[in-house]
Structure 1
C-alpha cells in the first residue's frame, strides 16, 4: 500500500551505511594470461584499493591482501597503479604502487613460500618523494617502464616527470642512480610509453603549463636505441598535436602505424597516424567523443585487437562500447544493458574487458567476446542491495540557459514504492554540480542519489557548460568564465524545474564537491535561487589557489578557467566566494578532508571563520586522514547523514533515522 507523506520524510531501506558499503567502482582493468584483474575500492578497509583477480571458474580472489594499497599519487589523481605478466611457472609477476610510501613493488602472488612484496624503488625525503604510474612490464629485459614523478624541493611545483626504467632485480630499491631515465624532462607532464610492434620506437603523450591535457598535448615518437646500460629513447619528436589540439591517448597498431584520439575536428575522434610524417586519417568522423579528459595517466578509451579491429568507448554524452573496423569505418556497438563505459579497456585475443554500468546497475567488470558478440558481467557483478523499486528513474533533459544555450542535465524525481507526496505539494530538489570542472556526470545507478530520491528529495545533475562529452566547443564555454557559466547553468535548471512545477522553488539546494564545491559556493554568494547548499572540499579563494595553493597538475588550470592572474587579478578576487562571504544568506554545510593536497583545508577554514557570527545557519565538518574524495566508510556515512539533516532542517521536515546536524550561526 502506498502512503501519502510529505516529501523528504519518506522512510527508505537505503541508509548511509548501505551507500558507503557500495562506494567506489572497479578500475584499471587488465588481462593477465586468461585472467581478468582490476583495482577494487574497499571503504570498510580504510578506503584501501585492493587488487582483485578472476580465477578460473569465475571466482574472485584478492590478489593483494591488506594492508597493501594499489594506488598511485602521480599528479595527485593517480594513474594506472599496477601491471602483471603470466609466467610459464610460478604464477604471474606483478608490479604495483603502494599508496602509503608510493614505492614500486614486485610480487609473486602464487609463490608457495608466501614471500611479501619486495620494493623496487627507493624512498626520497625530498618534497613528495618519488611516485610512479602506468607501468609497462618488460621481463625479458628485466625492467619495468613507468612514469616517474620526482620532487626536487619542498614546494608543490618543485617536481619533474620523465619516463624511466626500473630494474626488476631490486637493485634500485636503495639506489636512485639505478633508475634509468628513458626520456628527458623537457615536458612537464608525460604519459607512460607505448612500444611499437618491432620494439624500435616508443610513443607517448606530453604537455606543459599552462595547458591542461584537454587544452593541448603533443604525441611524441622516439627511437629505442641500445646503450651501455640498456636501451634509451633518442630523437624524440612531435608527430601530432599542439597548443590547441588535445591528443588524449596513443597506441600502436599491428602494422606499425599509430592510433590516436585527437580533437582536431572539435571532437575526440580516432585517427590513424603515420609515425614518420605525422599524416593522419580520421577513421570514424562523427560528432561524438572517442576519448575524454586525461585526468589520470593510463586511461584507455580504445585498444587495438588482433586482426586489426579496434575496441572503442564512444558517444555523445553517454559513453558506450563499440568495435570499429578502421578499414571501412563501420562501428558496431556491443549488445547489453550497459549504457556507460569507463576508459578502462583491456584485451587479449578476441576478448575485450572493461567497466560498465547503467541506470539500473552499478559499475561491474564486463567481458565482450568479439567472435560471438556476447557481452557478460564477469567480475564485481552488480547485485541489488535493495528492491529495485527504490531505485530512481532518471530523465535525460536539455534545458535552455542564458543566451539560448543548451544545458544538459539528468533529472531524478523522488521515487518510492511505499510513498507518494501530497498532490498539492511540489518536492524539494538538490541541484548537483560535478567536479572537474572538465568532466561529466554519468547516467548510472548511484545509491547516493537513491538515498535522497527514495526519501522524497529530487536530484538534478547538471552537465553545465564546460562539461565533457559534447565536443570541444561545449567544454570551452567555461573558458575564463568559471564561476559564471557553471553558476548560470545550474540556476537555469533549478529555475526551469521550479517554473514547470517539478520542484518547489522555495526548497532548492545546490551541492558539489571539488570544482563542484566551487560552483556550489559561488552560487550561494551570487544568486538567491537556493535555500541551502552542501560544499565539499572546494576551491574558495582563486588567488591563493593559483599561488602555490594546490598541486602542480592544476596549478595553472585557472589560466584557462579564469584568465592569467597577472592580467586579471581583480577577476580572481571578485569571483572568489571567500571574498564575498558576506553575501551568503542560505544555510550551508561545508565538508573537508584534512589531508587534501588538491583543495587544502586552509580555504575551508578561512571561509568558516568568515561566516562565524553572521547569523547564517551552517556547519563545518572535517575528517582526519581523508584527502580529495572521501574513501572511508565512516566518513561517507557521517557526510551523507549530515547532508540529509541540513536539507531536512532547511526544508522544514523531519528526516527519520538520521542524527540531527548541529547548525551554528
Structure 2
C-alpha cells in the first residue's frame, strides 16, 4: 500500500486520464499495404471529424498522402474496410463523401475513375497485366436490396465497371495469383454471415480477362473460410474453421492440406473487408498471427517442414498482418501499449513502432492491468471476461468500501473483448470503478462451438453471462452489489437493455445506439445483417413471437432503473427511432432517463468532441445515481424524472 495515497470514495478519485486524452487516443489504425519497401496505412482521426487519412512510411519518414478533405472510407456492408490499394506509388481509394473510386498518382491530385452515386467499392486488388482494379461492388441503385458483385475497373477510368462475378448475395476477397492466371474469392448467401458459412472459389482467367472454369474449393453452410491468399509460387492458402478452430490450410494438386491443427484462431469474424492475419515473406515463409487463450501471438510458419516458430513480441493484440523484404508489418497493442503500426525484422525479431494511436500514454500507476476471468454461468457452461480492478497511484478508498462495478460487453455480437490498452476503460478504473469486460458465449477466440453457443440465445445467454460475471465479483468482495451498472453499444446496447429490462441485478445502465426492437432491426437493417438474426434468434417472421418476447421496447413496464441513451442521428444500422421509442416509453413511466443525440454521427461516434461529451455525460449520470462527487467539473446532463 502506498502510504502517500489520499483516502477518497470510489468514483471521486482525480485522474489524469481525461476525456480529451481518451478522444485523442481514439485514432484508429487500420488496413496496411506494402508497396515495395513503402508502408501505407489507413488512419481514422476523430479530431478531423472522423476523416480517414492514408499515411506512408518511407525511409524512416511518415507522410500524409491523402489531401483534405478526401477521406479513404468505403461504406460497403456499412462497416467498410479494404478502402484503398497502392501500386507503384499510385493510390486508388474509395472516398467517403461520394463513395467514388479515385486515383492519386504521385505529385498530382485525386481523379475519380468511377461515376454514379449508388455504388460502393471495397477490397480491391490490382490486375497489372490488364491495367485494371478488381474489387467488390455493392450497387444501391437497384430495386430491393443492393446487388453485390466482383467487378473490374479500368485504372485510368472513363469506363463502366465490368461485372466478373455475380449471382451470390455477398462477395469478398478477390485475389489474383502472382502470374495473373487464376482468381480466388469468397462468397456466401443469406441467411449466413461470413463467420457462419462461406465458400472459397477458384477460377481460371481467360484471354478475355473473364473468370472461367469456376470450382468450389472449400467452405459451405457450416464452414467459415477466411482470407484466401496465393503464395509467391501460386499455391492457394486459406483459413477454415472446419475442425472447430480457424486453422491454416492450402490447396495443392487439387487436394486440401491442413498445415497444422491447433486449438487457436488464425481467423477473425469478417465484419469489414481487407482483414489479414497472415502474409508471405517468401514461398517458404508465412508470417501469421493467431489467438490462443484470448491473446494474440505472432509466428513464422515454414511451409516446407510445417514447423511453426513463435516470435516473441510485447503485443497481445495483432491484426492487419503484411510481409515482404524480410519484414512483417502489423497493427499491434497490449495492456500497456496503445494500438500501433509495427515493423518487425523477421531475422532479428527486433521491432520499431512507426505510428502509435497516441503518444500520450499515462503513467503505469494509473493503469489497471486486465485479469483473465473464467466463471460458471447458466446451463453448466463457462463464460470468459477481462476484469479490471480500480487503480490510481494517488488514491485509495476508505475502510471496507467496495467499488462500483461497470459491466461492459462487446458489440457484434460476434466479436470479442480485447485486453489492448484502452484509455476509455482506464478512464473508469482510474476514478475508482471496477470494470468487467465480458466475452460472453458467442464471442470469437474460443472456437466455433463457443461462438455458436449464442445461436438462438441472443438476449439470453449473453445477458446471463454478464449477470453471472457481476455476481461472481460481488461474491468475491470485488464490487458493491448496490452500485452495479452495465453499458454497451450496438449489439452490446441490446444486451444492456435486456439485462436492465428482464433482470433486477443492475442499478443503472448506459446504452449507445442500442437495439431495443428486434423486429424493427430485422425489418429495417441493411443488407449485410438482414438475416443475421435468423441464427441468433430465429427465422423472421416465422418466429416473430421470439422477437417480440426478447425486445425490451415491448416490456418497458419491467424496466425500473435509470438509463442514459446516446445516439447518432445518421445511424443506418440502428436508426434513431429505436432509441427514441425507448426514451419516450421511460418518460411516460416516470423512470429517470437521459438522452444525448449527436447530429452528423453514424453507427459509432467519430468526432472527438462527441466522444468526450458522451463519456462525461455517462460519468455524470453515475455520479448522481451512486452518490459520489466527480473530482473534475463536468457539464451536467439533464436527467428527466430524477
Whether TM-score is above 0.5 comes out as yes
Paired residues, number: 636
Q: 2:547 aligns with which of 572, 577, 587?
A: 572
1:335–1:375 contact (8 Å) kept in structure 2: no
2:268 equivalent to 1:292: yes
1:435–1:514 contact (8 Å) kept in structure 2: yes
Residue by residue, what CA displacement relative to the aligned partner does 1:384-422 show, whole Å, maximum 9, x if unpaired? 443232111211111111123111110111100100111
Unaligned runs of 5+ in 1: 87-91, 173-177
Q: How far off is 1:315 after superposition?
A: 1.9
Distance in 2, matches of 1:615 and 1:5, equals 33
Unaligned runs of 5+ in 2: none
2:196–2:222 contact (8 Å) kept in structure 1: yes
Matches within 5 A, 1:159-238: 159-172=146-159, 178-183=160-165, 185-227=166-208, 231-238=209-216
Distance in 2, matches of 1:545 and 1:592, equals 15
Distance in 2, matches of 1:634 and 1:333, equals 42
2:140–2:146 contact (8 Å) kept in structure 1: yes
Distance in 2, matches of 1:60 and 1:254, equals 29
Distance in 2, matches of 1:385 and 1:350, equals 30
Distance in 1, matches of 2:285 and 2:529, equals 36
Q: Secondary structure at the match of 2:295?
A: coil
Q: Secondary structure at the match of 2:28?
A: coil
Q: How far off is 1:99 after superposition?
A: 0.3
1:335–1:374 contact (8 Å) kept in structure 2: no
Matches within 5 A, 1:531-570: 531-547=507-523, 549-570=524-545
Q: Secondary structure at the match of 1:505?
A: coil
2:231–2:283 contact (8 Å) kept in structure 1: no
Distance in 1, matches of 2:368 and 2:474, equals 20
1:30–1:347 contact (8 Å) kept in structure 2: no
Q: 2:123 aligns with which of 127, 130, 134?
A: 134
2:39 equivalent to 1:36: yes
2:589 equivalent to 1:607: no
Q: How far off is 1:448 after superposition?
A: 0.4
Q: Which residue of 1 aligns with 2:218?
A: 240
- When normalised by structure 2's length, the TM-score is 0.97
2:400 equivalent to 1:424: yes
Q: Secondary structure at the match of 1:192?
A: strand
Q: How far off is 1:139 after superposition?
A: 4.2
Residue by residue, what CA displacement relative to the aligned partner does 1:416-448 show, whole Å, maximum 9, x if unpaired? 010011131000010001100000011111000
Distance in 1, matches of 2:61 and 2:559, equals 53
- When normalised by structure 1's length, the TM-score is 0.94
2:611 equivalent to 1:636: yes
Q: Which residue of 1 aligns with 2:50?
A: 47
Distance in 1, matches of 2:349 and 2:16, equals 37
Q: 1:617 aligns with which of 583, 587, 592?
A: 592
Distance in 2, matches of 1:141 and 1:434, equals 43
Runs of 4+ in 1 over 4 A off after TM superposition: none
Q: How far off is 1:654 after superposition?
A: 1.1
Q: Which residue of 2 aligns with 1:175?
A: none
Q: 2:491 aligns with which of 507, 515, 535?
A: 515
Q: Which residue of 2 aligns with 1:116?
A: 109
Q: Secondary structure at the match of 2:16?
A: coil
Distance in 1, matches of 2:277 and 2:42, equals 17
2:137–2:148 contact (8 Å) kept in structure 1: yes
2:453 equivalent to 1:453: no
Residue by residue, what CA displacement relative to the aligned partner does 1:478-512 show, whole Å, maximum 9, x if unpaired? 00100000000000000110111000000010111
Q: Secondary structure at the match of 1:474?
A: helix
Distance in 1, matches of 2:594 and 2:183, equals 52
Q: 1:101 to 1:71 in 2, by over 3 A?
A: same
Distance in 1, matches of 2:126 and 2:182, equals 16
1:25–1:364 contact (8 Å) kept in structure 2: no
Q: Secondary structure at the match of 2:65?
A: strand
Distance in 2, matches of 1:568 and 1:140, equals 51
Q: How far off is 1:303 after superposition?
A: 1.4
2:120–2:137 contact (8 Å) kept in structure 1: yes
Q: Which residue of 2 aligns with 1:322?
A: 299
Q: 2:476 aligns with which of 500, 509, 512?
A: 500
Q: Secondary structure at the match of 1:580?
A: helix
Q: Which residue of 2 aligns with 1:105?
A: 102
Q: Which residue of 2 aligns with 1:267?
A: 245
2:152 equivalent to 1:150: no
Q: How far off is 1:564 after superposition?
A: 0.7
2:569–2:575 contact (8 Å) kept in structure 1: yes
1:305–1:350 contact (8 Å) kept in structure 2: yes
Q: How far off is 1:181 after superposition?
A: 1.3
Q: How far off is 1:180 after superposition?
A: 1.1
Q: How far off is 1:25 after superposition?
A: 2.6
For structure 1, which segment, 24-33 or 497-506, has the greater mean C-alpha deviation from structure 2 after superposition?
Answer: 24-33
Q: Secondary structure at the match of 1:345?
A: strand
Q: Which residue of 2 aligns with 1:370?
A: 346
